[in-house]
Structure 1
Amino acid sequence: MTPARILIIAGSDSGGGAGIQADLKTVTLLGGFGMTAITAITAQNTLGVQGVHPIPTDMVLAQMESCIGDIGVDAVKIGMIGSAQTAAAVAERLASLDDIPIVFDPVMVATSGSMLADDATITAFEKLMQVATVITPNLPELQALTGRTIIDLDGLEDAAQALRARTGSIILAKGGHLPQQPQDDQPTIHDLLVDEDMVADFSIRRIDTRHSHGTGCTLASAVAAGLGHGLSLGDAVDRAEAFVACALAAAPGLGGGHGPMGHAMGLTPFYHLCAAKDDDGWDAAAFAARYGDA
């Protein structure tokens, strides 16, 4: 089966936990084929962002054209955009694509608290939001985009409705920053999928871990991978939520700060997928014994 072709327009995280690196892991493990247009290079680890170098807009567009013109695209994921000029140019190019789902994660601040977009770039998000199929802001991002203070689930929905009305895009409002809600008998995260005539609450048990770097990138890329495969938006979000929960639970515990998630769920796919196809009939344990412990 031909994999879904997912064009990822985002920044590079040298620490491997978020950005392009998390996007590619997610798309690959969900059966897609990831392509990249890198918008910025960061010096980054679990402790924070030590440096950011935006890629010139012309080079971002050249990367996009190389992928679109040859391999083709089934869905697009946008993350860190690099500059206001790049945001405008990317939006203009994507507007010319026909019937291609676009998932925009309006990245402003890294998990560590480091700023990844200046005021001019955030203002330029407006053009990207106009071409997006789905926008995936977390609570601080949604507050910044709408000017609203959000303190509960009703406020999250109201702000998402306001952003949807302004942009015409569907909003996946992430509620991970909300306090525990009165109706929940255990710690729960509520993510709201908001369209003009529909609100769906995707609720998952909160996993208490500091190793949550890259959750937003991962969720948006997983949604894009699902849409690229032809899943309905509801099914794509449902699968993406499950993938993020599993990856959080499998975090390897790396670094001294906000560590990366475990996108491979603690498995070595080569052992588990290729062993069954081996002529000698080896199982995953036999592969591990020969090539090293998985």
Structure 2
Amino acid sequence: MNAERKIKDLIGSHRPFRSILVKPRVFKALTVAGSDPSGGAGIQADLKTFSSFDVYGSAVITALTAQNTTGVDGIFTVEPDFIRRQLTMVLDDLGPQPLKTGMIPTTAAIEVIVAAVEQYKLKQLVVDPVLIATSGDKLVVETTLDALRRLMGHALLVTPNLSEAAQLSGLTLTSFDDMKDAALQIYQTGVRNVLIKGGHLLDDATDLFFDGKEFIFLKEKRIPVGDTHGTGCTYSAAITAGLAKGMPLLDAIVNAKIYITRALKFHLDVGKGSKVLNFRV
């Protein structure tokens, strides 16, 4: 009996989490993307990022990949009807919530997601148009840009990197002026807001936000870490988490930029290839 009392006392006096007497408000966000078994990108990175922001994350998987920090070995696409069933189960139960998309490997999968966005009237959609992995491996099977643009037309924000912005705009991006031209081209396809991630364009890590009225450059000092894995996924997930917590869009972007910079600065060496982000910053 004495041992039993001591255990109960220990449990009661060393609660690692906030008091259960006050029920916390639940912020929710959904990611629709591919799975990365190595944990640094895709669904896994999104859920870790949501958790870092104290956001309850749910996930719909569009594809299984065989990949790690060195590259992609294979992709198994999920049947569009099963993607639809995942979306239905999550949204019928948890309700409408901010949503981000990542890797969507087929046109049919995009059409299913568009239908869900329309059916559930999802207004806070962040589209990360993932086409190629950091390693250079192709991550789409038959997705056409026309199908992707249909999804982008429903988005609050689209977050292409330089190569994706080039494909979406048909332009070559080698300067800040090129980024502005590309953002305008993408905006004119029916997108409400564009964030082009500057990557390695110049010395600083400079991104460009365009809302149809104003070009805003977001600049941070580059973190010299070499190749990294999952930065695009994490950036868009952090923005989505900010939206889930009620932040205005630009505030969510700035907050996510700060987060991704810290996650890079305190990166982790977990494998033989690219560095991965430290999600717990």
Residue 234 of structure 1, CA deviation: 1.1
Residue 256 of structure 1, CA deviation: 1.5
Match of 2:52 in 1: 29
Residue 260 of structure 1, CA deviation: 1.3
1:120 partner SS: coil
Residue 97 of structure 1, CA deviation: 2.9
Match of 2:106 in 1: 83
TM-score (norm 2): 0.89
Alignment-mate amino acid for residue 224 of structure 1: T
Residue 68 of structure 1, CA deviation: 0.6
Match of 1:70 in 2: 93
The structure 1 segments of at least 4 consecutive aligned residues displaced by more than 3 Å after TM superposition are 118-123
**2:120 maps to which of 90, 97, 108:** 97
Alignment-mate amino acid for residue 240 of structure 2: A
Say whether residues 1:251 and 2:267 are aligned partners.
yes
| Paired residues for 1:209-288 under 5 Å | 209-265=225-281
Match of 2:70 in 1: 47
Residue 242 of structure 1, CA deviation: 0.7
Residue 144 of structure 1, CA deviation: 0.6
**Is contact 2:123-2:155 (8 Å) kept?**
no
Residue 119 of structure 1, CA deviation: 5.0
**What's the CA shift string for 1:26-63, capped at 9, x where partnerless?**
01101101001100000100110011000001111111
Alignment-mate amino acid for residue 197 of structure 2: K
**What's the CA shift string for 1:228-257, capped at 9, x where partnerless?**
111001110011001101111111112121
Alignment-mate amino acid for residue 5 of structure 1: K
Alignment-mate amino acid for residue 170 of structure 2: G
**Is contact 2:28-2:244 (8 Å) kept?**
yes
Alignment-mate amino acid for residue 277 of structure 2: M
**1:13 maps to which of 36, 47, 65:** 36
In 1: Cα distance, 2:147 partner to 2:191 partner:
16
| Structure 1 residue ranges without an equivalent (≥5) | 181-186, 266-294
Residue 133 of structure 1, CA deviation: 0.8
1:167 partner SS: coil
> 166-175 vs 113-122, which deviates more?
113-122
| Structure 2 residue ranges without an equivalent (≥5) | 1-23
Identity of aligned residues (%): 36
TM-score (norm 1): 0.85
Alignment-mate amino acid for residue 270 of structure 2: L
In 1: Cα distance, 2:244 partner to 2:210 partner:
20
Match of 1:146 in 2: 169
In 2: Cα distance, 1:115 partner to 1:57 partner:
20
Alignment-mate amino acid for residue 228 of structure 1: A
Residue 82 of structure 1, CA deviation: 2.1
In 1: Cα distance, 2:105 partner to 2:166 partner:
21
Match of 1:282 in 2: none
Q: How many residues matched?
A: 258
RMSD of the TM alignment (CA)?
A: 1.3
